[in-house]
Amino acid sequence: MTTVSTSRGLSPKQRKTVAGGAIGTLIEYYDYYLYGLAAAAVFPAVFFSANDPLVAQLASFATFAVGFFLRPLGGIVWGIVGDRVGRKAVLMSTVVGMGLATTAIGLIPSDQTIGIAAPLLLLFFRMLQGFFVGGEMGGAATMVVEAAPTGKRGLYGAFLITGAGIANVVSGGFMALLGLTPESWFLQWGWRIPFVFSIVLAVAAVILRRHLEDSDEFVETQALQIAAAGKKANPLVEAFRHPKNAIMGILIGLPQSIAGYVVLTFGLAYMLADENIPVWVGFAGTMMVGVLQIFVAPLWGAISDRIGRRTVYIIGCLGFAAMVYPTFALFDTGNMWLIWTGQILGFVVFGVAMQATLSTMLVEMFDPEARTTGVNIGYQMSNTLGGGLAPLICTALVAAAGGGFWPVVIYAAVISIVGVIATLLASIRPDVEGAGRLHELAATATLKTVR
């Protein structure tokens, strides 16, 4: 089978593929980080205003979590499309759906205007977000890593997280700037502007992705399946034909999935419990995190090309677990500069190491005929079980502990240890010339048996 040779630079096709993948990740994280920021600081007052503040915050984070429940379904549906029809078809569909759903959220009237219909509409469009974003990372990561030069797949796969960093800058910057306006105007109109802006990003992504092409490896694998068995394999069946990596992919992704949502989403709600801290401080810190993420992600990706994806990811897991306590201790100071330091220490240094490595590692855990599906299962299931529930779990844990954050530290440590063990157990294809497949192509194996 043809492999991409190592080269000094990217071909025009490879550059288009990396850029097309990165802008999709930008939109995915923009929409999700934006929703997380609004769920922490805006939605309790806009859509759950009749409730006690704690109940309103829990209800807001519950809608945040519900969006993740549709991600595995979307991951399976779009994964099958990506592995049977092609990666481009997925990337074009998901980015449009995501942009429309996010824009719609920005147009929902408050509960004081239309009553219970407001939170119900919020829940509906949040679920649509989850369904469409369920296919985004698998399709983007698969296409980018398949197109990257051998020996540099970690670096180019990490550019997807550079897109996530830009998303942090745009979403956090938008909200920080609008948070400086009078509170009444911000809660009525200001917060809506970043949500409606999502449609602009979606249009840009469609324009950038319209000329994407599937990799030679994917095209050749499909041809081999048809030649050997007369049809394409079922990607979902192939992903679980050797189930170890499908299961390990879910467990590996758990610490990565909670890092940003513990530090940046729940962390924002935690610090804003101190009424002396203005909301823009947390938004500005998120923007700073995004700026650093743009540069730190490819650095970790390049390091993973030298010392291995497995090693970098384990470093990220253990480092994140160690940083949770000092991060929340800095939040407790109420000092703006120390809060920003906490956000950077808690997420950028080690959380980004996990993010920059995970997508490439998941791609290397599956063969082409089930790759998009396998990546989506691992990434989306871990984000549902981990990231989607993290703010809600952390809010409940801190409330049960009388305001203390120590249960959050334990929660992060346990999840990180699970991620380390799963990373050690997974089978990962080496990023070297002629590495071949992890498992024999099912159609070929069947043909040999018949003969």
User: How confident is the model over 181-205, as a mean pLDDT?
Assistant: 90
On the question of pLDDT at 447 being above 50, the answer is no
* b/e code 414-447 from CB counts within 10 Å (16+ = b): ebbebbbebbeebebeebeeeeeeeeebbbeeee
| Tokens found for residue 342 | 């906490």
> Alpha-carbon distance 92 to 225, whole Å?
25
pLDDT of residue 211: 76
| Tokens found for residue 95 | 């980015």
Angle (nearest 5°) at CA 45 between 40 and 47: 95
> Alpha-carbon distance 299 to 303, whole Å?
6
Phi and psi (nearest 5°) for 331? -60, -40
pLDDT of residue 356: 94
Q: Return mean pLDDT, the chain.
A: 87
Could you tell me what percent of the chain has a pLDDT over 70? Answer: 95
**Range with the poorest average pLDDT among 29-38, 104-113, 413-422:** 29-38
In this prediction, residue 448 has a pLDDT band, given cuts at 50, 70 and 90, of: low
| Tokens found for residue 5 | 């040779």
Which residue ranges make up each domain of the chain? 12-215+226-443
pLDDT of residue 255: 97
On the question of pLDDT at 449 being above 50, the answer is no
* Per-residue pLDDT tens digits for 100-144: 999 999 999 999 999 999 999 999 999 999 899 888 888 888 888
On the question of pLDDT at 215 being above 90, the answer is no
User: How confident is the model over 29-55, as a mean pLDDT?
Assistant: 86
Q: Which CATH number applies to 12-215+226-443?
A: 1.20.1250.20
* b/e code 356-393 from CB counts within 10 Å (16+ = b): bbbbbbbbbbbbbbbbbbbbbbbbbbbbbbbbbbbbbb
- Which is higher by pLDDT, 68 or 126? 126
User: How confident is the model over 296-325, as a mean pLDDT?
Assistant: 96
**CA nearest to 271, candidates 41, 5, 30:** 41
User: How confident is the model over 57-68, as a mean pLDDT?
Assistant: 87
* Per-residue pLDDT tens digits for 339-386: 999 999 999 999 999 999 999 999 999 988 888 899 989 998 998 888
